[in-house]
Each structure stands twice: as C-alpha cells, then as structure tokens.
Amino acid sequence: MPDIKPLRLQVQARIRKLELLSSSGLWILALFTALSIGAYRKFAFLPTLNDAIRSLLGSGPPVNFINWALVLYAFSAIIMVLTQMTGSKRPRGALSHFGYLSVFYTFYHFSDGLTENFWAVFTIGMTILSLQSYHVWNYYKEKVREEEEILAELNKLAEE
C-alpha cells in the first residue's frame, strides 16, 4: 500500500488555507470600519490640501449627483453579491467594493457633503460588505467541509 501521508499533509494544508480565506471578509469589514471612523472625523488624520492643489482638482461633484451614484451603486452591488451567493460562485469583489465606498467618502468630503451623507455611505457599505463577508465565510466553510471529508477518507485508508 502506498504511503498516503504526503497526500494527507496536502489536504491539511488546503484546509488551513481555506480557513484563512474564510475570514478574509471580516478583514475588509474591519478596514471599512477604520476608514469610516476616519471619514466621520472628516479625515483629520490626513494633511490638508493646499489651495493650489485644491484649485487644480477643482470643486467636487454636486452632492445630488453623488447621491444618485450611491443609490445606483448600492442596488447594483447588492444584486451582484446576491447573484454570486445564489449561484454558489467563488466570492469576488470585496476589495473593489471597499474601493468604491472609499471614493464615495472622498467625493462627499471634497463636495462638503460628508457630514450629511456619512450615515448613508456607512449603512450601504456595511450592508454590502456584510453580505459579501457572509458569502465568503459560507463559501469557504463549505470547501473546508469537502476537504475534511477527503481527509476522513484518507484517515480510514491509513487505518486499514
């Protein structure tokens, strides 16, 4: 009978990797929470832009436009995450969601509308990223379960 110990070690390594991946959604949530704390404090931890750079960038987009873009983004992102969940597809896009939400905070900040719209961005961001995090956790836990079944079969073979 061939030695199955290397195969068992490979399966155990895959299980560890999948368990690590299952918590990656929480890291994005934590990162978004840290960004939101900074946004709530009006990004006081960042240096202010001097007038020359500010005039070079121009004024921010109108808050109404940002509001509409946020609504459009929220619906499309939620639909995208729910579609991935129902299709049991490999989760993707958490980092891009974080990037889009960061841009919304930035646009509102430069348009002087962050104070009034902070909670909208925060609530939408937590909703999208929580759904994404759950999908990541659920998807990889299922993969861990499959690998554990393989490991159990290998352990049975080793005992024979």
Tokens describing residue 123: 């609530």
Per-residue pLDDT of the chain (160 residues; tens, 9 = 90+): 567 888 888 999 999 999 999 999 999 999 999 999 999 999 888 778 777 887 887 777 899 999 999 999 999 999 999 999 998 888 988 899 999 999 999 999 989 999 999 999 999 999 999 999 999 999 999 999 999 999 999 888 877 6
The model's pTM: 0.87
Q: From residue 51, how far is each of 39, 57, 61, 81 by CA, in Å? A: 21, 10, 18, 40
Return the closest-CA partner of residue 140 out of 89, 96, 83.
89
3-state secondary structure string, 32-94?
HHHHHHHHHCCCCCCCCCCHHHHHHHCCCCCHHHHHHHHHHHHHHHHHHHHHHHHCCCCCCCH
